[in-house]
Structures are given as structure tokens and as C-alpha cells.
Amino acid sequence: MEYNWDFGAVWTYRGLLWTGLQNTIILAVVCLVLGLFFGLFVGAARYSTRPILNYPATAFVELFRNTPVLIQIMWFFFAFPIISPFQVDAFTAATLGLVLNTTAFSSEIFRAGIQSIAKGQWEAAKALGMTYMQQMKRVILPQAIRRMVPAFMNRAVELVKMTSLASVIAYGELMHQAKSIAAISFNPIEMYTAVAIFYFLLIFPFAILVRRLEIKFQPGS
């Protein structure tokens, strides 16, 4: 059986695909930045021993780590608008789902990173007379963040992959554009092959970088 591959349609619709790729990147960057930002606070709350901070943060993290991200996105798209005071379009719903998901996972990275710093570092900083915030900012975080970098990059890779789920609620990112084109031009073979390759080219360099960093930042090497 010989199949004649014809990538012509992929080229014809390159404009749509380009838009999709841009939307994928926008969604990923927005969610990564916001997710890391909120993650720092949730992570700090998780690290805290005060129940008023710790309990809600823990509940939040468990909720978002233990449900599939697709149902989070669909919940924000279909269910949330019913009680939401503002308009929820596909981008907003996808952003809400992915940001909260990324917040939950990155808060765990922050927490684990801070926990991995030896107690002696806190004590040495304290003995110098530093306040808690100074200890954190000057001594602990600079060391911890170095160790967290590979984990964050890994999260970024996962996030780019997760943005493809926004296609389910018809946000015009790469996967959604591919689906639309495949339907118009009746060429699912070429279209879905091409889109898989695009994602690979987008993500693989990151994955390589993560591994390099993992080796470089391995504690004790």
C-alpha cells in the first residue's frame, strides 16, 4: 500500500498555523509567568507553620494536582461563567485553568527547593543578625532557585504541551488550527503529522536544555 504524502495544504494554510503557533506561545508564556509568580506565594504559605496560611494553600495544591488539567480548563469554560462576575472567553478559561495548575505545581517546587537548603544556612544567617526576610532573600533563595531551575524548565515543557488542551474549548492555538485545517482540506494525515513535528521542534530544544541543567545543577556535582 503506497500512500502519496502531500504537504501542500500545510503550506497553503501556513498563515493559520503561524497564528496558532503564536497563540500557543502567548498562552504558555502568560501562564508560566503568572503561575510561577503565584506559585512563590502559595509555596511560601505551604512552607509556613501557621494553619491559616498552610491549610488553604495545601487544599489548593492538592485540588489542582489531583485533578486532570483538561477538566480544570473545561470547568472554567463551561461551569465557571455561570457564577462568574465577568465574561469568560476561551483564552480566559484556558489561562485560568493553566495558571492555577502551574501555580500548584510550581509552589511545590519552591517549597521543596527551600526545604533542600541545609538548616545550617538559616542558622548562619540568623547568627549574623539577619531578619527572616533577609535570610530568605540574601541566603536561602539564591541557593534554592539555582536548584529549582531544572524543575521549572520541566514545568515549562509540560505547560507548552498542556496548552494544546485549549483546542478542546476552541481557543485558536496550534492544535486547534491544525484540527480546523484538517477538516477544511481533508488531509488529516499530513496535518496531524506536521503539527506533531511542529510541537516536537518547539519543545525538544527545551527538553535538551533541561537535561543539561539537571546534570549541571545536581547537588554535589
Partner 1 sequence: MGYEWDFAIVFRDFDLLLLGLVNTLKVTGFALLFGVPLGLVLALARLYGVAIIRVPVGFVIEFLRSTPPIAQLFWFFFAMPLLLDIEIDPFEAAVITFSLQSSAFFAEVFRGGIASIDSGQWEASKALGMERNAQLRRIILPQAIKRMVPAFMERAIEVMKTTTLVGTISYADLLYEANSIAEETYRYLEVFTVAAGMYFVVIFICSMGVRHLEHYLGRTGEITTG
Residues 28, 159: contact at Cβ < 8 Å?
Answer: yes
**Contact call for residue 196 and partner 1 (CB under 8 A):** yes
Interface pick for partner 1 out of 15, 49, 82, 133 (rule CB under 8 A) = 82
CA distance 4 to 77: 40
Interface pick for partner 1 out of 25, 70, 112, 213 (rule CB under 8 A) = 70
**Nearest CB to partner 1, comparing residues 37 and 204:** 204
Q: How far is the CB of 84 from partner 1 (least distance, A)?
A: 10
54, exposed or middle or buried, with CB in 10 Å at 0-12, 13-18, 19+? middle
**Nearest CB to partner 1, comparing residues 140 and 176:** 176
CA distance 31 to 190: 30
**Contact call for residue 58 and partner 1 (CB under 8 A):** no
**Contact call for residue 66 and partner 1 (CB under 8 A):** yes
Q: How far is the CB of 206 from partner 1 (least distance, A)?
A: 8
Residues 206, 153: contact at Cβ < 8 Å?
Answer: yes
Which residues, 155 to 194, sit near partner 1 by CB under 8 A? Answer: 157, 160-165, 167-168, 175, 178-179, 182, 188-189, 191-193
CA distances from 154 to 49, 55, 99 (A): 28, 27, 15
